[in-house]
């Protein structure tokens, strides 16, 4: 049995973790321009074939065309487009998935057996005009990752997981659990050195509960 079929048969266990942000690799400091090779940064719901550069991180962000066939682009309601401090552009639109129970993104061009950080962001902003906060599940491939429980229309929710991906692509799936339509604002993938986060290996992943940047004096953006 090769590595790929083994991984497909034995679901990864996703551990809960408390990550203290000592990992300089994920931070922008000063004027250095670290490599963004292998980064995937998707502003979900952005009009097809459009892209822009994040003002703070300088990382290019693309639309989700090519990563998913499912769902619809929607803008958040005008009342949630905050001018001051300006609402980050990634939250202005979402992709929502009213048509099926399970809707997936496929992230391609990975190095099989390598470690990745995946990050998903959600801000409801009453994009559907229903004023109804949904609860839905997020999966990494076949593995349960996080229950996204939207408790405030203007609040943003962050889900993160660090996992060894056995194949050259991975699916991130949103699953309707009968408590409202799943949607997503942003989806990111970042390659990690295989030596980082040893608790994340071929059989188990690490799910973020909280991250604190200890003793930092600046407000550096997280990449």
Binding residues for ligand NAG, rule: CB under 6 A, are 55, 73-75, 86, 88-89, 135, 147, 149, 151, 179, 201-204
Question: Shortest Cβ distance from residue 209 to ligand NAG (Å)?
Answer: 15
Question: Shortest Cβ distance from residue 215 to ligand NAG (Å)?
Answer: 27
User: Cα(172)–Cα(104) distance, rounded to whole angstroms?
Assistant: 5
**Residue placing its CB nearer to ligand NAG in the complex, 24 or 132:** 132
User: Cα(24)–Cα(22) distance, rounded to whole angstroms?
Assistant: 6
Tokens of 96: 């929502």
**Residue placing its CB nearer to ligand NAG in the complex, 23 or 179:** 179
**Residue placing its CB nearer to ligand NAG in the complex, 28 or 202:** 202
Question: Shortest Cβ distance from residue 77 to ligand NAG (Å)?
Answer: 11
Question: Shortest Cβ distance from residue 108 to ligand NAG (Å)?
Answer: 24
Question: Shortest Cβ distance from residue 92 to ligand NAG (Å)?
Answer: 7
User: Which H helix or E strand runs over 73?
Assistant: strand 72-75
Cα-flanking dihedrals φ and ψ of residue 26, to 5°?
-100, 5
Residues 6+ apart with CB under 8 A from 17: 162, 199, 206, 207, 208, 209
**Residue placing its CB nearer to ligand NAG in the complex, 59 or 179:** 179
User: Cα(75)–Cα(1) distance, rounded to whole angstroms?
Assistant: 46
**Residue placing its CB nearer to ligand NAG in the complex, 106 or 209:** 209
DSSP secondary structure letter of residue 87: P
User: Cα(170)–Cα(93) distance, rounded to whole angstroms?
Assistant: 24
Contact 190, 116 (CB under 8 A): yes
């Amino acid at each position: 049995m090769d590595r790929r079929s083994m991984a497909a048969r034995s679901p990864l266990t996703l551990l809960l973790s408390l990550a203290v942000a000592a990992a300089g690799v994920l931070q922008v400091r000063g004027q250095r321009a670290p490599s963004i090779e292998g980064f995937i940064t998707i502003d979900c719901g952005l009009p097809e074939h459009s892209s822009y550069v994040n003002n703070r991180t300088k990382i290019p962000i693309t639309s989700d065309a090519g990563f998913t066939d499912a769902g619809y682009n929607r803008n958040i309601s005008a009342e949630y487009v905050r001018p001051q401090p300006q609402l980050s552009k990634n939250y202005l639109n979402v992709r929502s998935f009213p048509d099926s129970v399970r809707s997936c993104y496929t992230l391609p061009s990975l190095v099989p057996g390598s470690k990745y950080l995946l990050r998903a962001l959600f801000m409801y902003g009453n994009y559907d005009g229903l004023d109804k906060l949904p609860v839905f599940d997020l999966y990494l491939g076949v593995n349960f990752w996080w229950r996204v429980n939207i408790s405030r229309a203007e609040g943003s929710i962050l889900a993160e997981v660090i996992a060894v991906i056995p194949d050259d692509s991975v699916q991130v799936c949103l699953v309707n659990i009968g408590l409202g339509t799943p949607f997503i604002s942003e989806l990111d993938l970042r390659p990690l050195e295989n030596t980082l986060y040893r608790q994340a290996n071929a059989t188990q992943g690490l799910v973020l509960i909280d991250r604190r940047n200890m003793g930092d004096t600046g407000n550096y953006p997280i990449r």
